[in-house]
Structure 1
Amino acid sequence: MGTEYCETVIIGAGQQGCGVAGALQEIDHEAIVFDKGEIGQRWAHERWDSLLVGSGNRSIRLPGWDYDGDDPLALPSGPQVAGYLRHYVRDRNLVVREHAPVQAVEGGPGSPEDDVRFRTRLHDGATVESRNLVAAVGGYAQPRKPSLSCDVASAIHQVHSADYRNPGSLPAGAVLVVGAGISGQQIADELSDAGRRVFLSVGRHRAWPRCHRGRTIHEWMHAFSLYDDFVTAGAADGARLPGLPVCGNRLGTAELNLGTLAAKGVVLVGSARGARGTVLTLADNVVDVAEESALSFRAVIDKIDAGLRQRGFVVPAQPPAPAVDLDVIAGFGTRLDLAQHDISTIVWCTGFRPDYRILPAQALDEDGVPLQRGGMLGALPGLYYAGLPEGNSLARTGLAAVADNARFIAGQIHIDHVMRTRSSASLISAV
């Protein structure tokens, strides 16, 4: 339980943290990664069993390593992604300390000459001093449930999507899934396929087709530079990470949207607004939400078709184009009696909150949200973030962005090192 020194401390051994460690190693800078769990903890243990990564194996990019298997289009599971990360750490002999929770980080402006700008205090009483600190804990630290969940009768089993595993893990009876983002719709779809009676409480979201004119949406995103459209959502509230469009079922084999769910027999109900015992108060907004998501669905198809015409690409005819079937969607009303419908379980698919309370207070705003520039530069010298959104874009949070994020941060640390040591080396790192 002593004190040690390392030039850079990284908090979080997910893809972003391991990526920064790998990028620093490429340019001969030392780093230690700490995680309260295992390498790839959330991928390995905090996803439901059937979840697959919709962007596919080929989207997994780490500094000096891209997916090199024989099935780049396959959709990997969470444990498989964790396995890739562990292989990367072992192959490069990165220093990662698992099961080492960080209690707090102390630090301040200090002098530009200081070797020690941060003191990272660990759960066992040890302290690691560092010049730089990289917070790679992302935006999924704390499951988010609305306050109305406290007003639901204790007889109703409640579980957040972070703790949901499979249909068999839930009590018998019908299930209410709250939230219509990727998690909500994919879990509702899985429960319906398993023969459960499912109700889905909708909320604002975007829907995109899985395939159009013989190609996947991810191929069209590449062909027509639609990635920015995909990762850009409405302005977030700072306490919650916005979501990506729903664009396929959990297996990547079929379209998924409110129309396909309703056609399967999933009962669509309005957004949950309040609760008293076994009765939920709902907004009367099922049709409005469905129509709004259908517009986003139609808009991306129109962009693809316009691009095809402009570029003169040869594609198979596809009459009619995929669409959200609004004919099977109807309003529900403003009241849902859980007991009356034999609903025994609520699955809250209501997102996550970031948690950066371990950082120095001067690094955060009054709501505990990181003060940052461009998603990666912190408010304190030497403080960096890996995996935060940039404005209302989620581009930097994705697997495909890991290598670029990591090398940017490593480059900044290299510049700091060269300037501090008054070296004649180039400010441009070798990688």
Structure 2
Amino acid sequence: MSVRDTEVVVVGAGQAGVAMSEHLGNLGVPHLVLERHRIAERWRSERWDSLVANGPAWHDRFPGLHFDTVGPDEFAGKEQVADYFAAYAEKIGAPIECGVEVTSVRRREGRAGFTVETSTGTIRATYVVAATGPFQRPVVPPIVPEVDGVTQIHSSAYRNPGQLPDGAVLVVGAGSSGVQIADELRRAGREVYLSVGPHDRPPRSYRGRDFCWWLGVLGMWDAETPPQGAEHVTIAVSGARGGHTVDFRALAESGIHLVGMTSSYDDGVLSFADDLGANIAEGDAKYLALLDAADEYVGKNGLDLPTEPDARLLGPDPDSVRDPLRSLDLASAGVTSIVWATGFRPDYGWLQVDAFDETGRPRHRRGVSTEPGVYFLGLPWLSRRGSSFIWGVWHDAKFVADHLSTQRSYLQYEAPADAAGSHPTPIDRTPEKDSA
């Protein structure tokens, strides 16, 4: 196979890889973006059919391009989002090579840079940016074994209600994915159980402004670390059907059976933790706290925004909270499917460098790895809370590209002539050529 040279290899052509390519291009840094499938493939093939972005189109985009098929206050569908990134890559002339899988990255012996092995050959690069994001390996808790009569899939494999066998469905996970899938299944006439864990529940909009706007003006997108104990808490917010605030009481009223966190399984019976009421109450407290902060901001700044007193009316707890279901016999309840909306974990098995802690998590600061020359991009809380959103990735990529460019300038430095008029030998950054 061929051997090529470039300064930067960016692995992944999703939103992180495309953003990184734009900033590297603006800085004049030679690079390649390698993508094993198509641009933004995960938006196309690893999400359910009716998925829409969680932020409105005016917010969830890069600065250099508007959505041309979606109104600014609307929520783009998954295909529209994927098409947007493909159009953006074309607009900036990103050097993306699709159908190229990176199999390994290793530091070169005795020379600067890395050897990148791919399905189409070897690339030698001075820098590597891991832009594959966090959604690599679906997490399915080892609770329910494979049992006859029960189909188990992760939310990344769910497409629509018709995909599942007839019968009731248990959805595990109360973040955006779990809530929207459970609601869709119930609207399709299914009997649905929803396992609710700890979550953050912001209003979809308040006083005429989307929650993305409120988090912006209140400075909450800039939080650099999650609250203590909330590192893995999901956000229950929805852009489905034009966008609405997630209301677990309304979901219960629609016929969805709410249960606590799924804890164990024994001989056909699932057990749930006695935490449903506490989880919903904690979500309510976060919801009301954001309303309080918004009202205070309006008052301090003299904004003419309509009041919305009904937003504070939570209503009584549903029966499922007052008298929680602690166990469920799957066969007796007619449950034939379990959808695990339980998140993902990264998979960096291909990145064989000293850049990870004992748990396999990347060691970095704002995407700058502890391994010189390696960068991470597209991870939640990479630099701040906004890192999980499309616009946040774009700004993270700018910081990473600027850091990389600065390091590159050091390697290009040549010292002035010495007293004898000779120049020291500059750092050799040119990869050696193969004899073959």
Cα distance in 2 for residues equivalent to 1:299 and 1:276: 40
Cα distance in 1 for residues equivalent to 2:96 and 2:221: 32
Asked if residue 48 in structure 1 is aligned to residue 48 in structure 2, the reply is yes
Contact 1:232 1:392 in 2 (8 A): no
Asked if residue 136 in structure 1 is aligned to residue 131 in structure 2, the reply is yes
Match of 1:157 among 132, 151, 157: 151
What TM-score comes out, normalization by structure 1 length?
0.89
- Alignment-mate amino acid for residue 287 of structure 1: G
1:180-208 deviations in Å (ceiling 9; x for gaps): 11111111111111111110011111111
Which deviates more from structure 2 when the two are superposed, residues 87-96 or residues 228-237?
Answer: 228-237
Which position in structure 2 is the counterpart of 1:427?
none
Asked if residue 399 in structure 1 is aligned to residue 390 in structure 2, the reply is yes
Which deviates more from structure 2 when the two are superposed, residues 186-195 or residues 243-252?
Answer: 243-252
Contact 2:53 2:78 in 1 (8 A): yes
Asked if residue 388 in structure 1 is aligned to residue 383 in structure 2, the reply is no
- Alignment-mate amino acid for residue 388 of structure 2: T
Cα distance in 1 for residues equivalent to 2:128 and 2:358: 21
Contact 2:154 2:341 in 1 (8 A): yes
Judged with a 3 Å threshold, the aligned counterparts in structure 2 of structure 1 residues 360 and 406 are, in CA distance, closer, same or farther, namely same
Which position in structure 1 is the counterpart of 2:336?
344
Contact 2:12 2:34 in 1 (8 A): yes
Contact 2:175 2:237 in 1 (8 A): no
Which position in structure 2 is the counterpart of 1:186?
180
Listed as ranges, the gaps of 5+ residues in structure 2 are: 416-436
Q: 1:275 Cα deviation (Å)?
A: 1.2
Cα distance in 2 for residues equivalent to 1:392 and 1:280: 39
Asked if residue 420 in structure 1 is aligned to residue 411 in structure 2, the reply is yes
Which position in structure 1 is the counterpart of 2:235?
245
Which deviates more from structure 2 when the two are superposed, residues 319-328 or residues 7-16?
Answer: 319-328
Contact 1:235 1:392 in 2 (8 A): no
Contact 1:231 1:395 in 2 (8 A): no
1:196-239 deviations in Å (ceiling 9; x for gaps): 111001111111112222332223333433434699455577xx
- Paired residues, number: 412
Cα distance in 1 for residues equivalent to 2:39 and 2:414: 35
Contact 2:53 2:239 in 1 (8 A): no
Cα distance in 1 for residues equivalent to 2:396 and 2:216: 20
Highest Rg: 1 or 2? 2
Judged with a 3 Å threshold, the aligned counterparts in structure 2 of structure 1 residues 306 and 298 are, in CA distance, closer, same or farther, namely same
Asked if residue 213 in structure 1 is aligned to residue 207 in structure 2, the reply is yes
Contact 1:185 1:257 in 2 (8 A): no
Q: 1:277 Cα deviation (Å)?
A: 4.1
Look up the SS of the partner of 1:10 in the other structure. Answer: strand
Look up the SS of the partner of 1:7 in the other structure. Answer: strand
Q: 1:320 Cα deviation (Å)?
A: 2.6
Look up the SS of the partner of 1:356 in the other structure. Answer: coil
Cα distance in 1 for residues equivalent to 2:375 and 2:71: 34
Q: 1:324 Cα deviation (Å)?
A: 4.0
- Alignment-mate amino acid for residue 253 of structure 2: A
Which position in structure 1 is the counterpart of 2:252?
262
Structural mapping, 1:196-345, within 5 Å: 196-228=190-222, 232=226, 234-235=228-229, 242-248=232-238, 250-328=240-318, 329-345=321-337
Cα distance in 1 for residues equivalent to 2:314 and 2:383: 25
Contact 2:171 2:195 in 1 (8 A): yes
Contact 1:32 1:96 in 2 (8 A): yes
Q: 1:260 Cα deviation (Å)?
A: 1.7
Judged with a 3 Å threshold, the aligned counterparts in structure 2 of structure 1 residues 193 and 14 are, in CA distance, closer, same or farther, namely same
Judged with a 3 Å threshold, the aligned counterparts in structure 2 of structure 1 residues 231 and 318 are, in CA distance, closer, same or farther, namely farther
Cα distance in 2 for residues equivalent to 1:170 and 1:3: 47
Cα distance in 1 for residues equivalent to 2:291 and 2:159: 33
Cα distance in 2 for residues equivalent to 1:262 and 1:249: 19
Q: Give aligned-pair identity as a percent.
A: 32
Cα distance in 2 for residues equivalent to 1:216 and 1:236: 23
Listed as ranges, the gaps of 5+ residues in structure 1 are: 425-431
1:380-428 deviations in Å (ceiling 9; x for gaps): 111111112347944223201132222222212221222211169xxxx
Which position in structure 1 is the counterpart of 2:33?
33
Contact 2:172 2:340 in 1 (8 A): yes
Q: 1:138 Cα deviation (Å)?
A: 1.1
Judged with a 3 Å threshold, the aligned counterparts in structure 2 of structure 1 residues 331 and 250 are, in CA distance, closer, same or farther, namely farther
Judged with a 3 Å threshold, the aligned counterparts in structure 2 of structure 1 residues 312 and 253 are, in CA distance, closer, same or farther, namely same
Look up the SS of the partner of 2:333 in the other structure. Answer: coil
Q: 1:333 Cα deviation (Å)?
A: 3.2
Cα distance in 2 for residues equivalent to 1:174 and 1:75: 29
Contact 1:61 1:67 in 2 (8 A): yes
Which position in structure 2 is the counterpart of 1:65?
64
Judged with a 3 Å threshold, the aligned counterparts in structure 2 of structure 1 residues 394 and 317 are, in CA distance, closer, same or farther, namely closer
What TM-score comes out, normalization by structure 2 length?
0.88
1:366-388 deviations in Å (ceiling 9; x for gaps): 222111123x1012111111112
Contact 1:53 1:75 in 2 (8 A): yes
Judged with a 3 Å threshold, the aligned counterparts in structure 2 of structure 1 residues 230 and 251 are, in CA distance, closer, same or farther, namely farther
Which position in structure 2 is the counterpart of 1:429?
none
- Alignment-mate amino acid for residue 44 of structure 2: A
Judged with a 3 Å threshold, the aligned counterparts in structure 2 of structure 1 residues 9 and 162 are, in CA distance, closer, same or farther, namely same
